[in-house]
């Protein structure tokens, strides 16, 4: 275990050597925009009010607190599909469980940070992960179209390593540094913070495995002990020597995966040699995850941005693309910006 993780994310291996000098993101809050697209349509009925909110300057948890106070309901009665950044303009859905005929003037929620876009209902609470995709609009200042367009076109075909983004680990990796005391049960944390730290631990191990695969130029290659996942779903399968797996990877039909470590299930497939090595090198994390009862799962090593567009104006380039739930726009941009 090391004591300083401030440069850990920056040192993760990169797949490409673009690394355009200059190019600044998030210089203004409107430079980074995210629109969340759910994987289902609310049915318009039921006791859960669904609110589509555009926010800036507040994170998802802060909106949950506002809704809890406004409605007089416990936080457990409020649902959301995913976490959205504070320092961006983001659109996302929230659900509020309101049994009976309780009605509110929801537009009283609006202020300089929150705008209400849509109100409907659904029979079930909004669950985490029920996102089809996120649509990004990112303004990169200090670059020209010719600096970035070819790189983005290449990435739109070849994809990028599907790292968990830097924000997952806290400023300068501080969430990683909290894990030692957390796993030793030396600190008491809230249920929300507990979930954040367990996610940090699994994401750290995943990124370590992926970084080694990128260093070996195998993050987008089929290895004999790999487990694969369909690009448009979450079903997994192990390698079959009779299949042309590499062709399917190149066509973006499937991707190799790495483990999101936890307790083995009967249906769990075996770990690769790289995964075993990373887990063994970080026993203080892997053993902590097992002690907390987290179940093993998997995540794609490769993600391909969709609907990529680039447009120039006087001060930089506007880049648009879509990513599936759980993938990070910043991991796309780190492949092209220094």
- Which of the residues are catalytic? 85
Q: How far apart are CA 59 and CA 78, in angstroms?
A: 15
Distance CA 293, CA 265 (A): 11
If 0-12 CB within 10 Å is exposed, 13-18 middle and 19+ buried, where does residue 179 land?
A: buried
The CA dihedral of 311, 317, 320, 323, to the nearest 10 degrees, is 150
CB 228 within 8 A of CB 312: no
- Neighbouring residues of 161: CB distance < 8 A, sequence distance ≥ 6: 13, 14, 15, 210, 211, 213, 214, 219, 301, 302, 303, 331, 335
Cα distance between residue 323 and residue 135, in whole Å? 7
From CA 77, how far away is CA 68, in angstroms rounded? 8
Count of beta carbons in the 10 Å neighbourhood of residue 299: 21
Q: Which of 237, 236, 238, 256 is nearest to 246 (CA)?
A: 256
**For the sheet containing 227-230, what is the strand order?**
236-238, 227-230, 254-260, 297-300
């Amino acid at each position: 275990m090391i004591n300083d993780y401030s440069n850990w994310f920056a040192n993760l291996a990169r797949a490409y050597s673009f690394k355009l000098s200059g190019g600044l993101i998030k210089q203004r809050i409107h430079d980074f925009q995210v629109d969340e697209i759910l994987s289902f349509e609310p049915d318009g009925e039921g006791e859960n009010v669904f609110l589509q909110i555009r926010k800036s300057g507040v994170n998802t948890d802060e909106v949950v607190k506002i809704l809890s106070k406004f409605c007089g309901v416990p936080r457990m009665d409020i649902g959301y599909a995913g976490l959205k950044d504070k320092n961006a303009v983001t659109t996302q859905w929230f659900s509020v469980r309101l049994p009976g005929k309780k009605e509110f003037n929801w537009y009283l929620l609006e202020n300089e940070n929150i705008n209400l876009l849509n109100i409907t209902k659904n029979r079930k609470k909004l669950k985490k992960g029920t996102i089809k995709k996120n649509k990004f609009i990112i303004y990169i200042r200090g670059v020209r179209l010719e600096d970035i367009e070819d790189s983005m076109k290449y990435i739109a075909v070849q994809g990028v390593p599907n790292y968990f983004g830097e924000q997952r680990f806290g400023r300068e990796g501080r969430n990683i540094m909290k894990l030692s005391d957390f796993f030793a049960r030396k600190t008491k944390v809230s249920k929300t913070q507990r979930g954040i730290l367990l996610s940090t631990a699994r994401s750290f191990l995943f990124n370590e495995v992926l970084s080694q695969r990128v260093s070996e130029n195998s993050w987008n290659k089929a290895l004999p002990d790999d487990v694969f996942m369909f690009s448009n779903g979450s079903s997994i399968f192990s390698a079959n020597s009779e299949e042309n797996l590499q062709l399917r990877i190149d066509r973006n039909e499937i991707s190799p995966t790495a483990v999101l470590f936890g307790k083995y299930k009967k249906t769990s497939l075996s770990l690769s040699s790289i995964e075993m090595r990373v887990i063994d090198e970080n026993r203080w994390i892997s053993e902590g995850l097992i002690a907390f009862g987290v179940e093993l799962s998997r995540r794609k090593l490769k993600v391909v941005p969709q609907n990529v567009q680039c447009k120039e104006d006087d001060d930089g380039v506007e880049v648009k693309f879509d990513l599936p739930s759980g993938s990070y726009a910043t991991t796309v941009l780190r492949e092209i910006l220094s």
